């Protein structure tokens, strides 16, 4: 897991359902690099296409082209590796990437979540929540964190310790309302974030 400054990589996925374009690739990855997203892919030997379009979406419905490599791509006799850096990914959201390899069509997507912790060490998304509380915490050194969930009156609903930076917690025991998720770091620093439970 690569982490630099206030940005973190949380998710990297390959969605099932290989396409013709996927079968032309020996690899395709996406990772966070100093707040940018670095895409690296390799076309198999013998796979060629006419131009490569690099596309990004935050909802898997609408993809926008963020880069283009013109001309003949690939090679008849050797694999060819390409890199592309998305310098302006959408922060605090899932960024879905795919390639259009000319006549070969679209690849399946890769997804990364680029979190910006410059304003708060805790992110809760989506907010409000219904069933599962997904919490991202700036914990690059995997410190032992003391976490708690309380209501607005200060009543503690849950508390636990973790070294993780991504938590999936059940909200089934929480009634509808506003709550505070707080984190105490090893040095005593305290951060909190409000979230709503709506059913």
Instruction: Report whether pLDDT(149) > 90.
Output: yes
- Which residues does residue 177 pair with via DSSP β-bridges, in sequence order? 197
Question: Which domain, by its residues, includes 136?
Answer: 120-197
Asked which of 115, 131, 148 is the last residue of a domain, the reply is 115
Whether residue 106 is contained in a domain is answered as: yes
pTM for this entry? 0.73
Instruction: Report whether pLDDT(117) > 60.
Output: yes
Comparing 21 with 14, the larger pLDDT belongs to: 21
Asked which of 92, 115, 138 is the last residue of a domain, the reply is 115
- 158-194 tens-digit pLDDT: 999 999 999 999 998 899 999 999 999 999 999 999 9
Whether residue 1 is contained in a domain is answered as: no
Residues 79 and 139 in one domain: no
Residues 44 and 63 in one domain: yes
Asked which of 50, 80, 115 is the last residue of a domain, the reply is 115
Residues 106 and 134 in one domain: no
Whether residue 136 is contained in a domain is answered as: yes
Whether residue 170 is contained in a domain is answered as: yes
Q: How many domains in the chain? A: 2
Residues 89 and 166 in one domain: no
Residues 84 and 154 in one domain: no
Residues 98 and 45 in one domain: yes
Residues 124 and 28 in one domain: no
Whether residue 110 is contained in a domain is answered as: yes
In this prediction, residue 17 carries a pLDDT of 62
Instruction: Report whether pLDDT(8) > 80.
Output: no
- 44-79 tens-digit pLDDT: 999 999 999 999 999 999 999 999 999 999 999 999
């Amino acid at each position: 897991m690569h982490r630099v400054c206030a940005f973190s990589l949380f998710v990297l996925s390959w969605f099932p359902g290989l396409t013709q374009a996927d079968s032309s690739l020996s690899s395709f990855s996406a990772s966070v690099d100093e707040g940018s997203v670095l895409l690296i892919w390799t076309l198999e030997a013998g796979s060629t296409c006419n131009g490569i379009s690099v596309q990004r979406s935050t909802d898997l419905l609408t993809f926008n082209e963020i880069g283009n490599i013109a001309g003949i791509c690939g090679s008849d006799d050797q694999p060819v590796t390409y890199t592309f850096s998305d310098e302006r990914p959408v922060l605090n959201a899932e960024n879905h990437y795919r390639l259009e390899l000319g006549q070969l069509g679209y690849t399946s997507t890769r997804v990364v979540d680029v979190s910006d912790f410059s304003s708060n060490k805790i992110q809760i998304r989506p907010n409000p929540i219904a069933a599962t509380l997904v919490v991202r915490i700036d914990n690059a050194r995997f410190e032992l964190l003391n976490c708690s969930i309380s209501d607005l009156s200060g009543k503690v609903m849950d508390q636990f310790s973790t070294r993780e930076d991504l938590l999936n917690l059940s909200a089934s025991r929480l009634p509808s309302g506003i709550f505070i998720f707080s984190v105490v770091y090893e040095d005593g620093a305290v951060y909190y974030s409000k979230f709503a439970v709506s059913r």
